Amino acid sequence: MNIATAFADSLPGISPDVYGAEDFRAISDIAYREAGIVLPEGKAMLVYSRLAPLVRDSGCATFGAYVLRIREVGEERQKAICALTTNHTFFYRESHHFDHFRDSLRPQLIRRLEQGGAVRMWSAGCSSGEETWSLAMTLLGPDRTAGLALAKRDVRILASDIATHALNKATAARYRAEDLKPVPDALSRAWTTTHGEEAEIAPEVRAMARFRTLNLLGEWPMQGRFDVIFCRNVMIYFDTPTKERLVARFAGMLQPDGTLYVGHSERVTGPALDLLVPTGPTVYRRRAAA
């Protein structure tokens, strides 16, 4: 059996004239080149189901025609990349990171803010914002009065993602009330309001965050360095050279003693280890300046 036949057999009910092995390969090349996302052949069905509505909306009769279109039209290509991202996330995901942040970093960051200094954090690959708000609420803490005083100080969270649809949800800062269940009660009492089945993040917390569309593989317009970077469950879609380049760039964007959190199945490897020291499971601290 040749490769094209094997590919067609793995997609029952889909005509190879509409979506064939060549089309899949062209799409996975584009996803890799543009966003670093690796799509092995086992993802052929997923690619089909994510892109079929866009193929239809674009008026293309086949994936082959659609490939030509996204090669030519940047805006259509961006839509395709967004559709190929996986945006699964939830509040307090990998809660040990927020415990670590609360116990190991928060006290000194609060001291700095109270002394008039600045705190900068980055939720890189923030998806629909649950990670960003979890971090912001943890920094402000359960005491609303003290947290409101902190929120007025020089504290910002950059929250970035390549997927604009996810960022739209993040900016709206409205979720199903049940989505907030993993948030410690005292924090959700202080920083969220619930209206029936919907919950909303408090305006003071929202004011701390800036959501931006940013491809982690592209240029980074940020000038200053960060005290804390969360980049979790993003690099799982990348290959080793892409991951190593990315963590080296993160290391360069951290303040001396700044901290990088990565996802539970991710590790820092490669040249970044010259700068980053593991300080806990999936937690890395940038070496202080010599």
Ligand X SMILES: C[S@@+](CC[C@H](N)C(=O)[O-])C[C@H]1O[C@@H](n2cnc3c(N)ncnc32)[C@H](O)[C@@H]1O
What residues are annotated to the active site? Answer: 50, 161
H/E stretch holding 156 reads strand 154-161
The answer to whether residue 70 forms part of the interface with ligand X (CB under 6 A) is no
Q: What is the maximal distance between C-alpha atoms in the chain?
A: 70
Determine contact, residues 105/259, Cβ cutoff 8 Å: yes
List CB contacts of 149: < 8 A, sequence separation 6 or more: none
Residue closer to ligand X (CB basis): 37 or 67:
37
Q: CA dihedral in degrees (261, 34, 167, 138; nearest 10)? A: 0
The answer to whether residue 228 forms part of the interface with ligand X (CB under 6 A) is no
- The least CB distance from residue 51 to ligand X, in Å, is 15
Q: How far is CA 110 from CA 92, 148, 155, in A?
A: 21, 12, 10
> How far apart are the C-alpha atoms of 140 and 142, rounded to whole Å?
7
Q: Which stretch binds ligand X (CB under 6 A): 58-66, 67-75, 226-234, 250-258?
A: 226-234
- The least CB distance from residue 237 to ligand X, in Å, is 6
Residue closer to ligand X (CB basis): 87 or 255:
87
Determine contact, residues 253/222, Cβ cutoff 8 Å: yes
Residue window 159-198: x/- pattern of binding to ligand X, with contact defined by CB under 6 A: --xxx--x--------------------------------
Determine contact, residues 282/266, Cβ cutoff 8 Å: yes
Residue window 94-133: x/- pattern of binding to ligand X, with contact defined by CB under 6 A: -------------------------------xxx---x--
The answer to whether residue 47 forms part of the interface with ligand X (CB under 6 A) is no
The answer to whether residue 93 forms part of the interface with ligand X (CB under 6 A) is yes
Residue closer to ligand X (CB basis): 65 or 222:
222
> How far apart are the C-alpha atoms of 287 and 273, rounded to whole Å?
10
Structure tokens at 183: 């948030």
* Interface with ligand X (CB under 6 A), residue from 78, 233, 259, 282: 233
- The least CB distance from residue 223 to ligand X, in Å, is 19
Residues in touch with ligand X (CB under 6 A): 35-37, 85-89, 93, 125-127, 131, 161-163, 166, 215-217, 232-234, 237, 263
